[in-house]
Amino acid sequence: MATAKATQPSANEEEQLPLLELKTPPDITVITDIGQLDELTDWLDEHPEFGWDIETTPLRDFYWRRARTMQFGNIEKQFLIDLLGIVGNDAKILRDSQGHYGKHMDWRLKALIEKLRPYLCERKHKKVGFNLGFEYLSHYWLFGIRTRTSMTA
């Protein structure tokens, strides 16, 4: 039986490998108020490709799931939207404003979604993430928007 032997890259090979150097931690902006969104949208205007994530309550029944945060960014800059802060730290409003395809959204969440709609729903922006189908379903069910990904050749 033959066994594979692991080899170390030579010094010359190591020099040729591109290194990904992470900033620890990245520059993080926490958004808790609609008035802070301009910094995020200005950044999104300058970055046609961005990471995108949503965090929800971990319930098995998707009907009762509710979003708590949204995140946009790249390796250098991150924007974390605290949805509880957006609705004035009222957990009941945050819970009751989501689901049913955005039918009962609080005006502050509507303003947030409308501000983000061009970046999430137009194909000119490339969204990067893990299991973006979850982000799509969550945004559609919770906020009533159908997000789009960029076209690939």
Interval 2-33: pLDDT, tens? 555 656 666 555 566 666 666 667 799 999 99
Does the pLDDT value for residue 153 go beyond 50? no
95 to each of 36, 85, 126, how far by Cα in Å?
22, 13, 29
Those residues with Cβ within 8 angstroms of residue 36's Cβ, 6 or more apart along the chain or in another chain: 29
In a domain, 16, yes or no: no
In a domain, 124, yes or no: yes
117-147 CB burial, b ≥16 within 10 A, e <16: eebbeeeebebebeeeeebbebbebbbbbeb
CATH of the domain at 45: 3.30.420.10
Interval 56-81: pLDDT, tens? 999 888 889 999 999 999 989 999 99
For residue 75, give its domain range.
Answer: 24-143
Instruction: Provide the pairing of β-strand 67-73 with 49-56.
Output: antiparallel
Q: Structurally, how many domains does the chain consist of? A: 1
In a domain, 150, yes or no: no
In a domain, 1, yes or no: no
* 31 contacts 108 by C-beta, under 8 angstroms: no
In a domain, 37, yes or no: yes
**Comparison of pLDDT for 113 and 153, the residue scoring more:** 113
In a domain, 76, yes or no: yes
